[in-house]
Amino acid sequence: MNVLVVEDQKTIGMALTWTLAGLGHEARLVSGGDAAWEILSREDWRLIITDWMMPGGDGPELCRRIRGQRGGHYRYVIMLTGRTGRSDRLEGLEAGADDFLTKPVDEDELVVRLGIARRILDVQRQLEDSVRQLGAAARTDFLTRLSNRRGLDEALPAMMTAGRPCSAIAIDIDRFKAYNDSFGHAAGDDVLRTIGTLLRSGTGATGTAYRVGGEEFLVLLPGSAAEEASSLAEELRSAIAAHSWSLRPVTASLGVATADSALAFAGPRPILDAADRALYHSKRTGRDRTTHARSLDEPDVAAIPPRAAG
């Protein structure tokens, strides 16, 4: 394990770090609580052994700082002290210490205390992994494995305030209810899964695809201007139409909207509404086509129709 040793008496501190090294651990020595806190504020140390009485921030104060920190991983703190009274132990526990080592340090006791620390930190890592997995599952659509509406809601604010142009592509499968009615929901689910795969591969590193409703999808394109977003949308539309569907052809209608860096700060709702308006325009004008919201302000430009075969 990596151990941060906080001890102002250099001889004691060096002896402890050598002992830790001999036991197979990586140890770093700092001379006081303030110096330790500066390191902990920017580096990931899970195990800290700190002296109680030190200039420049004592052990209890360092514990209180660690426990007052929001977010991040759990840090296990062992207090090193010659104070063995009941009131002293209670004070240390109240400050946030997990365990104690008595000066002078007995190596056998150190081994046992480190074993306890390892077990607790291992359990904590497992809990953190479980929380991350649950969080990822809560943001993932179980059928398509794309991010879901919750994932979209979390991603939008950052994209809209990044100070760059950004675009959104709204996608709706054409006549999907009729497809379900004709072939059943299992066949419809196969279509949704395939659409998810096509969107994931089609966007690549450019953007992120989301399933936001039954047959509704959205692609976010941070940093993409109108022309680039329209081009990608048309590629996605073509990929869906050209896929070898087993039961009957499947197509999609798409709407694109773009916000420049100034408009982005108006929030996410306008760009989503604009993409939806463009999508419905594609549906009203024949389906299986792409419309950019900006074209709706130009009466002579309506939509990008599907490319002619060949």
Identify whether the C-beta of residue 100 lies closer than 8 Å to the C-beta of residue 91: no
Q: Which of 88, 84, 114, 94 is nearest to 19 (CA)?
A: 114
Q: Is the peptide bond before 104 cis (omega within 30 degrees of 0)?
A: yes
Helices (H), 58-174: 59-68, 86-95, 107-138, 149-160
Of the residues 38, 61, 215, 228, only one is catalytic, namely 215
Identify whether the C-beta of residue 220 lies closer than 8 Å to the C-beta of residue 155: yes
* Catalytic site includes residue 215: yes
- Residue 195 CB coordination number (10 Å): 25
Q: Return d(Cα 275, Cα 170) in angstroms, integer.
A: 6
Identify whether the C-beta of residue 232 lies closer than 8 Å to the C-beta of residue 203: yes
> Any idea which residues carry the catalytic annotation?
215
